[in-house]
Amino acid sequence: MLKTARPEDIFRAHGGQLRMIEAIRHGLSRYTLYALKERGTIEQISRGLYRLADLPPIGNPDLVTVSLRYPHAVICLISALSWHGITTQIPHAVSVAVPRDARLPALDHPPILAHRFSDASFKAGIERHDIDGVPVRIYDAEKSIVDSFKFRNRIGMDVVLEALQLYRQRKRFDSGKLLKYAKVCRVENVMRPYLEAIS
């Protein structure tokens, strides 16, 4: 006789968190999810996203929630600058990059600012970080600075210059990498005078 897995075990086998569609694929019904939520076994993080209630608090809940809900999006701009510690800005929403032809993500919580990137720009500089067992895609520090130059009219030139200055103070300052990404993102002419000024 086959023994079916307990719902809690299915959640644990997947890091304690599942999207509703994934839970259904693993044999859990909507009714079961609602019953587990009612009992306090799981909690709803956002629409369609659940996690075991007895898990320790998430280290970066907004980034984890967005990454679980939209695994192909990449954390960018102020959210990425904040992750790398090269801004004093506190992100009021999670900034994500999506390919130009992708559907824009929407979440009740946390708020999202979605930005469309060209194919080459979207694929360049992606790092994968593991946060509480969840793979989170974030642009590296250099790509985040270049993206800030690209979107300078949206985020403000003061934020861009602060990020460049804080990045310059690091031991791993890499102007070659910045220029490589600047070519991909087509902001080389905009960035070059600033890079020459701080070199």
Which tokens in the block code for residue 89? 């800005």
For the chain, give the mean pLDDT: 89
Q: pLDDT tens for residues 100-136? A: 998 877 777 788 999 999 999 999 999 999 987 789 9
Domain boundaries, the chain: 7-52, 62-198
Say which residue, 149 or 4, is predicted with more confidence.
149
Q: Would you say residue 83 has pLDDT above 60?
A: yes
Question: How wide is the angle at C-alpha 32 spanned by C-alphas 51 and 60, nearest 5°?
Answer: 10
Identify residue 78 by its one-letter amino acid code: I
Residue 102: the pLDDT is: 87
Q: How confident is the model at residue 1 (pLDDT cuts 50, 70, 90)?
A: very low
Mean pLDDT value across residues 10-30: 86
Residue 2: the pLDDT is: 45
Give percent above pLDDT 70 in the chain. Answer: 96
Query: How many angstroms separate the CA atoms of 49 and 31, rounded?
Result: 15
Q: Would you say residue 95 has pLDDT above 90?
A: yes
Q: Terminal CA-to-CA distance of the chain, rounded, Å?
A: 71
Q: Would you say residue 188 has pLDDT above 70?
A: yes
Q: pLDDT tens for residues 138-167? A: 999 999 999 999 999 999 999 999 999 999
Identify residue 117 by its one-letter amino acid code: F
Q: How confident is the model at residue 4 (pLDDT cuts 50, 70, 90)?
A: low
User: Which residue in the block uniquely carries the two structure tokens 């009219």?
Assistant: 153
